[in-house]
Amino acid sequence: MTKVRKAVIPAAGLGTRFLPATKAMAKEMMPIVDTPSIQYVVEEAMAAGIEEIIIISGKGKSPIEDHFDVNIALEENLKEKGKTAMLELVQQTNIPHIHYVRQAYPHGLGDAILQAEAFIGNEPFVVLLGDDIMPSEIPLAKSLMDTYDETKGGVVATMRIPEDMTNRYGIVEIKEKVGEHIYSVNHFIEKPAPEEAPSNLAIIGRYLLTPEIFDILRNQAPDAGNEIQLTDAIESLNAIHPLVAYEYTGKRYDVGDKYGLLIANIEFGLENKDTADKMRPYLKELAKELKNKA
């Protein structure tokens, strides 16, 4: 069985939910405390044992490439000033095995994945969406890779959501439980209404796919919004080569949402050595003020 070596990170979206900030800045570079959100995704892939990464970028996304490239002038400046700790932080982001390809037109997530076909070739691969940050002792990407080794097929990461939110997610219709956290799947359904959803097991931003997905995406008709939906392609793939759903039970931050990004900054800030001691008393005082106003 072919080893999973490659990962695809789609980062071509326009980031309209964060306008005006994203008018001139890549959404994926918005920081969680002092670290761009996309760095957490890249680090997860690397911690899982991924050897090569391709980022699907678009117009205005060059800061992502710059972030993971060497900045000689900055490094020399930090060396001269003896700022060793900062230099080490900067050098940790120098990652040579990241490649880039542009999605020329915003035709949806499925189309973005299709841009990676030449890079992936005939290998299984992991997809990591930048909007989902999921810190875990065992990286979620690694859990998907281990599940692939066990089941010999594609894997979709899922988690339980409130039942009234199913119209915001792809939802899994479960066939049966086949292992710890693992379910065989009847159908993958794109954003069903709560009253029509077969479960509350929602697809989240990690997938392990086999290369057959590319033929499906290439021939799939766009939806009403002229986008190629990845969930629809996975549903077609499941009919040919059955996938399984892996249920993730850890913490998830949706940093593609304003509220989610704020929560991530607060909670990561409480763990950051430079901000934690200042934040705790501030939040306690803020909580008192909010309670008095209630």
Q: What value does the mean pLDDT take over residues 200-224?
A: 92
Q: What value does the mean pLDDT take over residues 9-38?
A: 91
The mean pLDDT of the chain is 93
Q: Is the pLDDT of residue 278 over 90?
A: yes
Q: What is the pLDDT of residues 144-168, one digit of tens each?
A: 999 999 999 999 999 999 999 999 8
Q: What is the pLDDT at residue 60?
A: 82
Q: How many CB atoms lie within 10 A of CB 76?
A: 11
pLDDT, greater one: 223 or 270: 270
Strand-pair category, 170-179 with 244-247: unpaired
**Non-local CB neighbours of 194 within 8 Å, separated by 6+ positions:** 163, 164, 165, 166, 167
Question: What's the one-letter identity of residue 211?
Answer: P
DSSP 131: T
Q: What is the pLDDT at residue 221?
A: 83
Rounded Cα gap, residues 156 and 159, in angstroms: 10
Q: How many CB atoms lie within 10 A of CB 43?
A: 16
Choose among 66, 65, 91: nearest CA to 78.
91
pTM to 2 decimal places? 0.92
> Domain 6-256 adopts which CATH fold?
Spore Coat Polysaccharide Biosynthesis Protein SpsA; Chain A (3.90.550)
Choose among 239, 219, 127: nearest CA to 173.
239
Q: What is the pLDDT of residues 34-60, one digit of tens each?
A: 999 999 999 999 999 999 999 999 888
Q: What is the pLDDT at residue 1?
A: 67
Q: What does the DSSP assignment read for 148-163?
A: HHHHSS-EEEEEE--G
